[in-house]
């Protein structure tokens, strides 16, 4: 397992390292992308990649900010990846807001937007597409409720790494399981890049920013912060010395139900392996997913206990 690093923590005060003078390039073909990547590599610039599915919010913009601080040239991909959506999931409904996203990226100082169509990324369709799959880590938690989801993620991220050849790649830690799975893929397939995890950006009431928050009705939106509050309560109990993790998971589920949410899972895990936490583990991740109506929200908290 690669060594654990301190995540990039967003702040409102940090300013980007470089002055941005050029306008952002906007590319939707592999040929166009290959050309600009070749130019960047020849000029020796460090490429930073921020992979997204668009409908950008402040959490995504923190990824761009982090990328601007450590890379010389930043490419953001926007691609709603059909391979990571299961049957009956929200592929068609997923918010597509390319014009607004382009403006936000330009303002944030992104150098290049890559927004391919599915026919560019999967020219032969999905049926015969080679699958990149990280075993075990992808089967638990979100993988249990969304079979095949993480295979879709690792396959498209592998393609994006090959196409964009980043030196640095930036991912939000709200999707902590996804982050660990991609980190394992990077290590196992020996991608010559560094992954940077960027801390979750939250609304004032604690709700983690997510493109799927826009699906919530006003009533659901007012119930949604209970997800983060519940995670924080579990954290408080653990910090107070409670190691009855099974019982803590159960009472967290009851708390979510009482707040009007339908828990998919709550899991107190070893923060590196995502296996069930043992009382002796010191780095923990508390992961949860809930449904509010049809909308599925996820969140997590990581904590290190003193020895």
> Residue 29 carries which DSSP code?
S
Q: How far apart are CA 63 and CA 218, in angstroms?
A: 28
Which of 53, 56, 67, 132: binder of ligand PAF (CB under 6 A)?
A: 53
| Residue 115 DSSP class | -
Least distance from ligand PAF to the Cβ atom of residue 138, Å: 12
Burial (CB < 10 A; 0-12, 13-18, 19+), residue 291, is: middle
Binding residue count for ligand PAF, defined by CB under 6 A? 10
CA atoms within 13 A of residue 88's CA, in its CB half-sphere: 5
Q: Which is nearer to ligand PAF, 81 or 300 (CB)?
A: 81
Nearest by Cα to 252 from 272, 238, 241: 238
Structure tokens at 93: 């409904």
Q: Which is nearer to ligand PAF, 62 or 175 (CB)?
A: 175
Binding characters for ligand PAF, 148-187, by CB under 6 A (x = yes): -----x--xx-----------------x--x---------
Nearest approach, Cβ of 73 to ligand PAF (angstroms)?
Answer: 19
Is residue 213 a contact point for ligand PAF (CB under 6 A)? no
How far is it, in rounded angstroms, from Cα 160 to Cα 171? 13
| Span interacting with ligand PAF, options 8-16, 47-55, 189-197, 215-223, rule CB under 6 A | 47-55
Quote the least distance from Cβ 105 to ligand PAF, whole Å.
14
Distance of closest approach, residue 9 Cβ to ligand PAF, in angstroms: 19
Q: Which is nearer to ligand PAF, 113 or 238 (CB)?
A: 113
Whole-angstrom distance between the N-terminal and C-terminal Cα of the chain?
Answer: 21
> How many whole angstroms separate alpha carbon 40 and alpha carbon 51?
18
CB 306 within 8 A of CB 283: no
Paired tokens of 167: 């030196």
Q: Could you say which DSSP state residue 180 is in? A: H
Segment interacting with ligand PAF, rule: CB under 6 A, options 48-56, 67-75, 162-170, 184-192: 48-56
- Binding to ligand PAF, residues 214-273 (CB under 6 A): none
Question: What does the block give as tokens for 116?
Answer: 């391919």
**60-99 burial, b for 16+ CB within 10 Å, e for fewer?**
bbbbbbbbbbbbbbbbbbbbbbbbbbeeeebeeebeeeee
Active site residue 60: yes
Q: Which of residues 24-43 bind ligand PAF (CB under 6 A)?
A: none
Contact present, 115 and 32 (Cβ < 8 Å): no
User: Under the criterion CB under 6 A, does residue 52 sit at the interface with ligand PAF?
Assistant: yes
In the complex, minimum distance from the CB of residue 168 to ligand PAF, in angstroms, rounded to a whole number: 15
Instruction: Give min distance, CB of 284 to ligand PAF, in A.
Output: 23
Q: Is 51 in the site for ligand PAF (CB under 6 A)?
A: yes
CB-nearer residue toward ligand PAF: 53 or 163 = 53
Hey, which residues between 112 and 151 contact ligand PAF (CB under 6 A)?
A: none
Chain residues that interact with ligand PAF, rule: CB under 6 A: 51-53, 81, 84, 153, 156-157, 175, 178
Which residues are marked as active site?
A: 60
């Amino acid at each position: 397992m690669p060594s654990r690093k301190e995540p990039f923590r967003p702040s409102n005060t940090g300013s980007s390292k470089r002055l941005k003078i050029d306008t952002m390039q906007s590319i939707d073909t592999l040929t166009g992308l290959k050309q600009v990547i070749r130019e960047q590599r020849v000029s020796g610039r460090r490429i930073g990649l921020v992979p997204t599915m668009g409908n950008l919010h402040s959490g995504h913009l923190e990824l761009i900010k982090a990328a601007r601080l450590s890379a010389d040239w930043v490419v953001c991909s926007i691609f709603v990846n059909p391979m990571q959506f299961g049957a009956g999931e929200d592929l068609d409904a997923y918010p597509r807001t390319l014009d607004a996203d382009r403006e936000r990226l330009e303002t944030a100082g992104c150098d290049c937007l890559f927004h391919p169509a599915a026919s560019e990324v999967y020219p032969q369709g999905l049926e015969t597409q080679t699958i990149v799959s990280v075993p075990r880590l992808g089967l638990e938690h979100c993988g249990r409720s969304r079979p095949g989801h993480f295979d879709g993620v690792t396959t498209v991220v592998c393609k994006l790494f090959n196409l964009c050849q980043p030196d640095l790649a930036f991912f939000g830690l709200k999707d902590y399981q996804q982050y660990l799975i991609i980190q394992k893929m990077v290590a196992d397939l020996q991608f010559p890049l560094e992954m940077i995890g960027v801390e979750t950006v939250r609304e004032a009431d604690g709700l983690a920013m997510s493109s799927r928050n826009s699906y919530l009705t006003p009533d659901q939106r007012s119930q949604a912060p209970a997800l983060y509050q519940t995670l924080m309560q579990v954290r408080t109990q653990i910090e107070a010395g409670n190691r009855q993790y099974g019982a803590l998971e159960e009472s967290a589920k009851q708390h979510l139900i009482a707040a009007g949410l339908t828990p998919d899972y709550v899991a107190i895990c070893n923060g590196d392996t995502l296996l069930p936490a043992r009382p002796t583990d010191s780095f923990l991740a508390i992961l949860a997913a809930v449904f509010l109506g049809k909308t599925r929200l996820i969140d997590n908290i990581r904590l290190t206990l003193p020895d």
